[in-house]
Homo-oligomer: A and B are copies of this chain.
């Protein structure tokens, strides 16, 4: 599990592409693809600033960065698709499902119960897709995430 994205000597764009792929996975690719015919430059900015600049910085590991992002998107409550992407990203960088649900529940204190409830239901949806509850699902148990 990578804890930050090294990348001295690499361009911001290359470093950002690599970080986006590692953190957001498939969901990140889908966003970039969807931008192609409406605002392709925006995909470049998305690689460069959030991923090439911010997520690639030392000083805070990716697990902490995803906790921060999940907390903020839950609290703001107006970016449901991005919250789902980052719940998945949290799993990608090594957060447990419990760490994710604890982060979301805590938002009830700062942004109210509706924000926390909507965040929990987003997590439920992502977890169900990622850990499908098929027979003998030891992999689906909490300890597996």
Contacts and interface: CB of A to CB of B under 8 A. Distances in A.
A137 to B, nearest CB: 12
Interface of A: 31, 34-35, 37-39, 41-42, 45-46, 48-50, 53-55, 57, 59-60, 64-65, 67-79, 81-82, 98-99, 101-118, 120-121, 123-124, 127
Copies of this chain held together in the complex: 6
Nearest to A103: B68
Q: Is the interface of A mostly helix, strand, loop or mixed?
A: helix
A47 B52 CA distance: 16
Contacts of A105: 39, 41-42, 45, 54, 57
A81 B77 CA distance: 12
